[in-house]
Amino acid sequence: MWYVDTSVLVALCTHETRTADTVRWYASCTKELVSAAWCVTEFASAMGLKQRTGQLNAAQAQVAWMQFERMCANDLRLLPVETVTFHKAAVLTMQASNGLRAGDALHLASALAAKALAMVTLDGVLAKNARLHKIRTVTL
C-alpha cells in the first residue's frame, strides 16, 4: 500500500505547478492508496486558503471538493488516526532537526502505523523524513 499526503491530493484536484505530473502518476497508478482521515480536514483547509488568497473562487473550490470526495469514495482508503499515532507525530515534531511541521508529522506517523511501503508526497521535507524511516518515496 502507498500512503498519499494532502499535497498530492490538492494537486490532483486544483491547478498547481505539479498538477500535470501528479495527474499522470495517478492515471497510471495501480497500487492501493491510503491516507489518514486527517487529510479531509487538511484538504478543506487548503480549499479555504486558496479562496482567501484568490487562487480559487467558491465554485472552483466546490468542484475540487467534489473531486476529492469522489477520490476518497473510490480510490483512496482513509485510515483512522489513533491516539498513539498523534503521540508519535508529536515526538517527530519535537525532533527539530527533522524540520517536520505538525500536519506532515501526522502523515508520517500514520504511514508508519499503516506500514506503508511508499510515501507519495510533493513535500521535500516529508519525503526526506519518510526515507529516514525506511519508507520509499515516490517521485512524481
pLDDT tens profile 93-126 = 999 999 999 999 999 999 999 999 999 999 999 9
pLDDT at 134 over 90: yes
Q: Which residues of 118-137 are buried (b: 16+ CB within 10 A; e: fewer)?
A: bbbbbbeebbebbeeeebeb
- Report the C-alpha gap between 78 and 86 in whole angstroms: 16
Q: Which domains does the chain have, with CATH numbers?
A: 2-138 (3.40.50.1010)
* Helix intervals (H) in 14-123: 19-28, 38-52, 58-74, 83-94, 102-114
Q: pLDDT tens, 12-56?
A: 999 999 999 999 999 999 999 999 999 999 999 999 999 999 999
Can you give the pLDDT at residue 99?
95
Nearest to 67 by CA among 127, 10, 138: 10
State if pTM tops 0.85: yes
Q: What is the largest CA-CA distance in the chain?
A: 41
